[in-house]
Amino acid sequence: MGRRSEVTLTEKECQALKGLLKKERNARIVKRAQALLWLRAGEQVGEVVQRLGVTRQTIRNWVKRYQEREGMSVKERLADRPHPGRPAKKRAAVRALLAQTLAQDPRALGYASPVWTTRLLQHYWERHHHLQLSRRTIRRALRQEGYRYKRPRYVLARRSSTWRQAKGGSSGD
């Protein structure tokens, strides 16, 4: 059916790859490690392609890249090259303002809400700092700075008709 790929791995590399399968959180690295182990075990490239949902060229690229990066650790040999992309300029501005803004009570600034929400932060920074930001950018900055938040609940909880029984009281009052 398919060709076998020549993958030569030492026993130490195999152990390191198996360790990555158990511990690694990056799915791309796990997929690549699994492909190399299957190929070393003698599986055909076509079978690996079908299992992982990638192309033959992708498998060839993984094998080639792994072999070319010989001096690196097994994980580094499987990792993507850095993708620099566009610099996060707005997020840096948000991170600078975050602690300063969150230290203030929104009610003291004229807002009706007792807590900061991403929408409220977006409005405040647009109005007072002339920053056009998406709520996604704000959420990313919050996460990066270690803040956790929950969306405020606007519906009040209704008391159960049997709440007294649940608390150990009588139901006859």
pLDDT tens digits, 128-151: 999 898 999 888 888 888 888 776
User: Distances from the Cα of 166 to the Cαs of 51, 157, 158, 163, 172, in angstroms?
Assistant: 53, 16, 15, 5, 14
User: Distances from the Cα of 31 to the Cαs of 42, 72, 78, in angstroms?
Assistant: 17, 19, 9
Instruction: Write down the pLDDT at residue 36.
Output: 94
Instruction: Write down the pLDDT at residue 115.
Output: 87
Q: Where are the beta strands (DSSP E) in 79-157?
A: none
Least confident piece of the model among 19-28, 31-40, 129-138, 154-163:
154-163
pLDDT tens digits, 100-121: 999 999 999 999 988 898 999 9
The 8 Å CB, 24+ separation contacts for 54-62 are 59/5, 59/35, 60/5, 62/32, 62/35, 62/36
Residue 20 lies in a domain: yes
Q: Which two tokens stand for residue 165?
A: 């029984």
Residue 173 lies in a domain: no
Reported pTM: 0.51
Residue 62 lies in a domain: yes
Segments forming the whole domain that contains residue 41: 11-78
Residue 154 lies in a domain: no
Question: Total structural domains in the chain?
Answer: 2
Residue 155 lies in a domain: no
Are residues 59 and 113 both part of a single domain?
A: no
Question: 30 and 17 in contact (C-beta within 8 Å)?
Answer: no
More confident residue, 36 or 170: 36
Are residues 21 and 45 both part of a single domain?
A: yes
Are residues 101 and 61 both part of a single domain?
A: no
